[in-house]
Structure 1
Amino acid sequence: MELLHSGKVRDVYADGEDLLLVASDRISIYDVILPTPIPDKGKILTQLSLWWFDQLADVIPNHVISVTDVPAEWQGRAIRCERLEMVMVECIARGYLAGSGLRDYQRDGQISGNPLPAGLVESSQLPEPIFTPSTKEPVGGGHDAPLTFDETVGRVGRELAEELRRVTLEIYRRGSEVAAGKGMLLADTKIEVGRAKDGTLKLGDELLTPDSSRFWSADEWKPGSVPRYLDKQFLRDWSGQLTDWDRTAPGPEIPDEVVEATRNRYIEVYERLTGDTWK
């Protein structure tokens, strides 16, 4: 097999006509891969994504070919998948104010060209979920930049832009319903989409995991405050307390207690969503 790409989390190998997507235990924040792994993280991301792919197969097909036809050493963290021609747009849906969306709103009163009412505060629920795409920069190529819908149309054409918006918002809607039933809020999420050889639009990468989404505990949510994060925002907040790191590589080592707390959050999301005990 040939290593085609090593990303922030996943390594992509060519195996004949197929790809092998292997999720590592690496973790990144602010586009910097930290030197300390989070044990089991790659397996949790893979298994949770597969669970979601099954749940949402009626919304859009996905790239999965097999979860068993992979080398033994990667069992549980790898999938055999189709080669897709990826759409070079990060597809993001937001239902609450957080992260870069909050900063954009505080500065401009809108996010990615979506005007929002005045008076919203951190963690506020938006009047309705919004599509806030961004550019998709390679590792080391700089930060992703917000795109308006019209800018997205300029990049990929109106028909595809409208389908990306529809799929992203429907995945967010369905994911939010499932999360709410498990006592969690899905604040935002991002997906990656590509075209198969026959032109079919399919999901790639991962889906509705703590790496690609913000999950909050519903019973601790209150507009104007920060809910308990069940995702890697916890790690971002930890890094924000460091006075000797400027968010550029190399990243800082993660203390053992922060590693454990991060791992526990990933496991909690998996167990609450799927109803299965992580082993």
Structure 2
Amino acid sequence: MSAKAKHEDPTASERLARKPYERELLRLQNELVKLQEWVRAEGARLVVVFEGRDAAGKGGAIKRVTEYLNPRIARVAALPAPTERQRTQWYFQRYVEQLPAAGEIVLFDRSWYNRAGVEKVMGFCTPEEYWQFLHQCPTFERMLIEAGILLRKYWFSVSDTEQERRFRARLEDPMRRWKLSPMDVESISRWEDYSRAKDEMFVHTDTPDSPWHVVESDDKRRARINMIAHLLSTVPYREVLPPAVDLPARPEPRGYQRPPRDLQTYVPDHAAGLGPDRP
């Protein structure tokens, strides 16, 4: 078996068609809203970690999870590079600041596992810092779980050929070129280094208390459906009926008159120049 063949996604030849994908995605998103309402009502705290290769589809999955959720309840934590001050803090400290309060959901678009991945491979941390992380991480996550936080960890796995295809698509698309960072380019030549780092990370952090769940993501649609369905299956939520809301009758007019339109500045009607609608 060639080096490339062993990385191939076994589902790659069975791409999920758009119609069943959209139908099931909408059903699952409806369930996510129920999950959100249960989290709010029960005062639960849910943390979902999204990790994986560059261009593995983490961002797209997060968008589908949050599409219909209340941003006051469900938020995304995508931290930039640490500041000089943060570099002197306990490594986990800036991530602790992002953890949810009661009734909240936090989705980590990359997380504390940066130390076991990009920092290790690119030399952004010392060997001592790296091994200290692997030693402390299971204890840190056990503390979160013992404190009542629901912790779920997903690793998005993409083949080398599909990753390169996505990189080239970004390079050729002006709307998405910003998504191709120098780190992405570097990851092509360091594929095996990242593979070894991921394997070592799993050895130390794929624990019974806090297991990793691998999402095959060469087919983005299939990956999103599988990840969301799995997340829902791991949380003991139930449907919480919202309080009844009755819209009041609109009161009778009491003499209010709107100011003349020419006293206000309106946005130009750009849409008027688009022409008639066509099928």
Output the TM-score relative to the length of structure 1.
0.23
Greater relative contact order (CA < 8 Å, ≥ 6 in sequence): 2
Q: Which has the larger radius of gyration?
A: 2
Higher-strand-fraction structure: 1
Higher-helix-fraction structure: 2
Output the TM-score relative to the length of structure 2.
0.23
